[in-house]
């Protein structure tokens, strides 16, 4: 069998690196999965509005539903809340007056994931993300393609006529949209919801309408795996809320999970990620707006954020509570 140049180079390089790579893989390999020691299922989500989602997720699990059903139906609660202007169709519109939604879902076993971005007019973007994971060979769909897919899947929708909304907006604002839409702490939030199941399986999801007044087509961290959400079934999971641009440049959720892999408690892992970002980012800490939640395979959880008002929700069969931002330590 003759090898193409690409194959040959690939195999030769692998051969040369083989021993070193194997050695480092062995040292990096997670310790044998530990059974959860805390109460399970454990559900952790961003913000106080996450509590209603956590409670719904717990109910799904207690009724015999799967972890993915719990993530999806839990997040439905926040996506359906008309009083919530940062998640779902009641979210704050972009600079063209259109609500564009981002969501993703991740399932530990098999390291599976699905994601949608800049999705218009679909009531439950988390369901679209789950369908991408379960029914396509892709991980992420965006914009009109994502909407068409969601419609084909029969997901609940509202008619959207972006052009009409866009033209109405342009009439009111003859100048082109500002290159950098103003960011206010009040015009964005995300539900990131993580679950450690009773058998040690981990899953998570995340949904948002993103930054209010964002440029049309802007995608934040939330649907980007490793940024707004990351799940590793051997280690734990992390999720983010805040200014997506300051999260996605650092793959922050992935970083947190890797810190946990090295043995850090979830809370310390969140703090360490913030410290790392603060060190590298030219912005003052107060302007970063980066907030994280995390849980690990053992059933420990934690959070940390640069926003003083950040809080998070933690639910087990024993209790469901909203906890304050523990700060940066």
Task: Write out the catalytic residue numbers.
Answer: 190
Query: Smallest gap, in angstroms, from Cβ of residue 210 to ligand ASP?
Result: 3
Binds ligand ASP (CB under 6 A): choice among 208, 233, 298, 316: 208
Q: Which is nearer to ligand ASP, 309 or 317 (CB)?
A: 309
**Burial of residue 255 (number of CB atoms within 10 Å: 0-12, 13-18, 19+):** buried
Question: Could you tell me the smallest distance in angstroms from the CB atom of residue 246 to ligand ASP?
Answer: 8
Selected binder of ligand ASP within 94, 190, 207, 267 (CB under 6 A):
190
DSSP-based three-state secondary structure for 29 = coil
Determine which residue in the list 79, 189, 232, 258 makes contact with ligand ASP, applying CB under 6 A.
189
The site for ligand ASP, by CB under 6 A, has a size of 13
| Residue that the structure tokens 């931002």 belong to | 325
Give the binding range for ligand ASP (CB under 6 A) out of 71-79, 90-98, 137-145, 182-190: 182-190
Tell me which of 44, 119, 211, 229 binds ligand ASP, using CB under 6 A: 211
Q: Find the part of the chain contacting ligand ASP (CB under 6 A) among 64-72, 112-120, 145-153, 240-248.
A: 240-248
CA-based angle 228:233:238, to the nearest 5?
25
Distances (CA, A) of 168 to 89, 119, 204, 293, 322: 19, 20, 38, 39, 41
> Considering the complex, what minimum distance in angstroms separates the CB of residue 135 from ligand ASP?
25
Cβ partners under 8 Å of residue 318, min gap 6: 39
Does residue 91 touch ligand ASP according to CB under 6 A?
A: no
Q: Is the peptide bond before 266 cis (omega within 30 degrees of 0)?
A: no
Q: What angle do CA 95, 99, 103 make, to 5 degrees?
A: 120
Sites of contact with ligand ASP (CB under 6 A)? 188-190, 208, 210-211, 220-222, 241-244
């Amino acid at each position: 069998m003759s090898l193409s140049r690409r194959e040959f180079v690939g195999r030769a390089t692998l051969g040369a690196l083989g021993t070193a790579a194997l050695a480092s893989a062995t040292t990096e390999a997670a310790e044998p999965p530990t059974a959860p020691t805390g109460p399970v299922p454990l559900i952790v989500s961003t913000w106080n509005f996450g509590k209603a989602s956590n409670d719904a997720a717990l109910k799904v699990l207690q009724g015999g539903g799967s972890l993915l059903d719990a993530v999806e139906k839990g997040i439905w609660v926040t996506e359906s809340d008309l009083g919530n202007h940062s998640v779902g169709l009641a979210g704050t519109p972009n600079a063209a007056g259109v609500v564009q939604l981002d969501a993703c879902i991740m399932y530990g076993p098999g390291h599976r994931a699905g994601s949608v971005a800049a999705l218009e007019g679909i009531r439950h973007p988390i369901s679209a993300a789950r369908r991408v994971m379960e029914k396509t060979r892709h991980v992420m769909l965006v914009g009109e393609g994502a909407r068409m897919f969601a419609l084909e899947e029969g997901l609940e929708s509202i008619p959207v006529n972006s052009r009409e909304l866009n033209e109405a907006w342009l009439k009111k604002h003859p100048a082109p949209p500002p290159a950098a839409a103003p960011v206010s702490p009040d015009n964005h939030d995300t539900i990131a919801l993580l679950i450690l199941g009773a058998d040690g399986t981990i899953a998570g999801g995340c949904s948002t309408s993103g930054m209010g007044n964002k440029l049309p087509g802007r995608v934040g961290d939330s649907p980007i795996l490793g940024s707004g959400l990351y799940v590793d079934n051997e280690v734990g999971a992390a999720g983010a809320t805040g200014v997506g641009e300051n999260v996605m440049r650092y793959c922050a959720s992935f970083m947190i999970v890797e810190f946990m892999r090295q043995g850090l408690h979830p809370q310390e892992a969140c703090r360490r990620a913030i410290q790392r970002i603060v060190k590298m980012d030219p912005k003052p800490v107060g302007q970063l707006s980066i907030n994280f939640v995390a849980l690990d395979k053992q059933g420990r959880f934690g959070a940390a954020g640069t926003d003083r008002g950040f809080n998070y929700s933690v639910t087990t069969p024993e209790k469901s509570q909203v906890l304050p931002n523990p700060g940066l330590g």
